[in-house]
Structure 1
Amino acid sequence: MRKPLQVNRIQGAVLVMLAGLSVTGVAQAKEVIVKIGHVAPLSGPQAHYGKDNEAGARLAIEDLNAMKIQLDGGTAKFELVPEDDAADPKTGAVVAQKLCDQKVNGVVGHLNSGTTIPASKIYYDCGIPQITPSATNPKVTKQGFDSVFRVIAHDGVLGVALAKYATSDLKAKKFVVIDDRTGYGQPLADIFAKQVQASGGQVLERQYTNDKATDFAAILTSVKAKNPDAIFYGGMDAQAGPMLRQMKQLGIKAKLIGGDGICTAELMKLGGDNVGSNVYCAEGGMALSKMPGGPAFEKRYKDKFKSDIQVYAPFVYDATMTMGMAMKEAKSADPKKYLPKLKTISYKGVIGPITFDESGDVKNAPVTVNSYNAKGKTPVTTIQ
């Protein structure tokens, strides 16, 4: 039996209305995928840094997604694209090209200066903004790439501050300077040595190793004969820990001084009970306990990951959030649209206020000098 024409018309109208609601619902629920690349060493002797950095990025991704940011006509869903460069410049370049090919919307990283510098050219050429949370070689932001930013004090600031502190506060006059010949360690050692001499100190000897070494007997035997007040090491904790053990074995009483590469919780595991008030190190930024959002971030980090922060996790968190806020201001994840906002961004981060100068460096970055005691790394002074 055929239904009356009027009934068919009503049913048709209802179906059209429902279809319209369905389309509207889809439009309202449109999801815009935003891919943020993160690169650090996730394997090898520096993996503890890389995993720490990635954890900071993941916390930021969680927070950005919770904000339900509207970008490009829909709700942004931020996704982290983690990559391992093994702290190797060649691998870093390969990974950078991979992220370009995947058309990520931005990159947070790399961790090391030696990987960041070659990768930054690749990102610049493919139009992807990059914020490094930890690469401190001044060259990173001096290459003429307007897509490169940094949220931590560079070695020109850190090395000078540390040399001044060593000569004035520690009263050290005679130094031996050792570096690992990397894009991080060598420039930092050069800056430190130059400032030591400008501050009236004496560099008795320069020695060199590499970022894979663990045996420093030959170097330290030569150092012992010089009887320095302090040894400066430009490199990472994977070498500084064994170096401290071997210094004690040889009866070397000099203090060990270094940059943020040795300024980690891991140093106490690597160096054992040889790590204490004989070690001084500097970090770009305020001590975690003094950061505006530091204590709360530390609690959240420990609750989630069941481990201590090494060094850079709060900087990675802020770098990721800063990139997300630039996208929010631009209402777009298109690099061409949000890059101008990144250049003028003003963001109140865990580490403090973040704004960039014309080179892409964070403005007014402080430096914190730390030492160690039974409880771990302890801030001694902050230099603004």
Structure 2
Amino acid sequence: MSKGLASPLAMLAGLALAGLAFALPASADGAGVKIGVAAPFTGSSAPWGEQFKRGTEMAVKDFNAAGGAAGQQLSYEIGDDVADPKAGVSVANKFVADGVKWVIGHVNSGVSIPASDVYAENGIIQITPASTNPTFTDRGLWNTFRTTGRDDQQGAVAAAYLVKHFQGKRIAIVHDKTPFGEGLAQIVKKGINEKGITEVVFEGINIGEKDYSSLVTKLKEANVDVLYYGGVYTEAGLIIRQMRDQGLQAPLMGGDGLVTTDFGAIAGPGGAGTLMTYTPDPRENPEAKQIVERMRAAGFEPEAFTVKCYASVQILVQSANAIKSTDPEKIAEYMHSGHVFDTVIGKISYDERGDMLQANYVMYVWKPTASGGLDYAGNELTD
């Protein structure tokens, strides 16, 4: 197990990083490239902010050791958007004032979408490892890219699973009224409706609440067999816990908003059996082996979006080295050209919108661990 950065050049060469294995000369004027890391670093979604920081931080250190981007060294600053759209716009404006040119973020689609307008108007390129609402890239902005998939992709997988495994059962759909949660729920609803299944409950909840007993009562009265939830792990965990407290044993299915082991801490043992759509686990990719081992050696589990953040920086650096420029608009043109990037999450190329051509989703199930918690790692379903 590698425990440090003793041989970053060898590691990067092994990843075929488009010239990153060769140190580039430092820029004459000493200029550098400032990266903005935009995510919630406080509040209930703070674990995702930590993932964003860890992944970007390691990438910056590794690529600086290998010569930087087009001869310039990288630095980063974090912006705490507290998972709120208005705060996200404030973060975006601060990045503009601070001279940020590349952004890794945001997490929530409802934050990424308005923030991306600020970035587009100010010459900043944005790659989100987490925002999945189709609107983010469908608007045709020059600067928006993802290292994750779209809700119309994961929603289709969820709907197909429900149709296959819960045919003739009573399906409820609940969402958190956000662009991510409601958008995903609407896609799942459309998918099952097109196959002749009508949900018995469809409604939204208010995020941040702690008592969902009235919702659980409604689900019990509808005698639901499965609950699809469009939202994130905080509310999902509370809903499951309160379902079990009231004797409702129906499983919950959700999207990649559940991808953190903090979900299990909130849901408790009753969260076992929860279903979740997510891309193939980045930790399982052979190209990420050394990075995953180094993070684990440092006491941090690189789950969810950590490795995707590393890949996001990787793509920007590969682009800059290929075109010998760190200019965001030139990098965006190169990324839109169809070039295939070799990254720690696999080969990536982009369509004209900034969506990955290789994105796909699979179904996971949360299972108990030996330590008494829950985890989805290694629990990808094949049927």
With the shorter chain as reference, the TM-score category is 0.7 to 0.9
Q: Map of 1:87-166 to 2, 5 A cutoff? A: 87-166=83-162
Q: CA deviation at 1:368?
A: 2.0
Higher relative contact order, chain-length normalized (CA < 8 Å, sep 6+):
2
User: Within 2, Cα distance between the matches of 1:262 and 1:256?
Assistant: 11
Corresponding residue of 2:360? 366
**1:105-157 deviation per Cα after TM superposition (whole angstroms, max 9, x unaligned):** 21111111010000011111111111111000000001120111111110000
Give the letter aligned to residue 337 of structure 1: K
Large movers: runs of 4+ above 4 Å: 26-30
CA contact (8 A) 1:35 1:81 kept: yes
Does 2:249 match 1:253? yes
User: Within 2, Cα distance between the matches of 1:211 and 1:311?
Assistant: 21
Corresponding residue of 1:19? none
SS of the residue corresponding to residue 159 of structure 2 reads helix
Q: Map of 1:167-178 to 2, 5 A cutoff? A: 167-169=163-165, 171=167, 173-178=169-174
Q: CA deviation at 1:329?
A: 1.2
CA contact (8 A) 1:129 1:335 kept: yes
Matching residue within 299, 303, 313 for 2:306: 313
Corresponding residue of 2:205? 209
User: Within 2, Cα distance between the matches of 1:70 and 1:356?
Assistant: 20
Q: Gapped runs of 5+ residues in structure 1?
A: 1-25
User: Within 1, Cα distance between the matches of 2:232 and 2:143?
Assistant: 27
Does 2:319 match 1:326? yes
SS of the residue corresponding to residue 148 of structure 2 reads coil
User: Within 1, Cα distance between the matches of 2:81 and 2:62?
Assistant: 26
User: Within 2, Cα distance between the matches of 1:105 and 1:177?
Assistant: 40
Percent identity reads 30
Q: Map of 1:277-288 to 2, 5 A cutoff? A: 277=273, 279-283=274-278, 285-288=279-282
Q: Map of 1:203-352 to 2, 5 A cutoff? A: 203-277=199-273, 279-283=274-278, 285-304=279-298, 306-344=299-337, 345-352=339-346
- Relative to the length of structure 1, the TM-score reads 0.87
Give the letter aligned to residue 187 of structure 2: I
Q: CA deviation at 1:339?
A: 2.5
User: Within 2, Cα distance between the matches of 1:379 and 1:294?
Assistant: 19
Give the letter aligned to residue 271 of structure 2: V
SS of the residue corresponding to residue 282 of structure 1 reads strand
- Relative to the length of structure 2, the TM-score reads 0.87
User: Within 2, Cα distance between the matches of 1:113 and 1:70?
Assistant: 28
User: Within 1, Cα distance between the matches of 2:362 and 2:294?
Assistant: 23
CA contact (8 A) 2:105 2:112 kept: yes
User: Within 2, Cα distance between the matches of 1:294 and 1:282?
Assistant: 21
Corresponding residue of 1:31? 30
Q: CA deviation at 1:290?
A: 3.6
Task: Work out which of the two has the higher radius of gyration on C-alpha atoms and give 1 or 2.
Answer: 1
User: Within 2, Cα distance between the matches of 1:382 and 1:313?
Assistant: 25
**Alpha-carbon distance change, 328 to 242 in structure 1, aligned in 2, over 3 angstroms:** same
Q: CA deviation at 1:288?
A: 3.4
Q: Map of 1:28-107 to 2, 5 A cutoff? A: 31-69=30-68, 71=70, 75-107=71-103
Give the letter aligned to residue 68 of structure 1: G
Give the letter aligned to residue 374 of structure 1: P
**1:207-254 deviation per Cα after TM superposition (whole angstroms, max 9, x unaligned):** 211221221101110111001111011111111111111010111121
Aligned CA-pair RMSD? 1.9
Q: Map of 1:372-383 to 2, 5 A cutoff? A: 372-375=366-369, 376-377=375-376, 378-381=378-381
- Whichever structure has more strand as a proportion of its residues is 1
CA contact (8 A) 1:241 1:271 kept: yes
Give the letter aligned to residue 355 of structure 1: S
User: Within 1, Cα distance between the matches of 2:29 and 2:86?
Assistant: 39
**Alpha-carbon distance change, 184 to 338 in structure 1, aligned in 2, over 3 angstroms:** same
User: Within 2, Cα distance between the matches of 1:359 and 1:340?
Assistant: 11
Q: Number of residue pairs matched? A: 352
Corresponding residue of 1:179? 175
Q: CA deviation at 1:324?
A: 1.3
Give the letter aligned to residue 325 of structure 1: Q
Give the letter aligned to residue 261 of structure 1: G
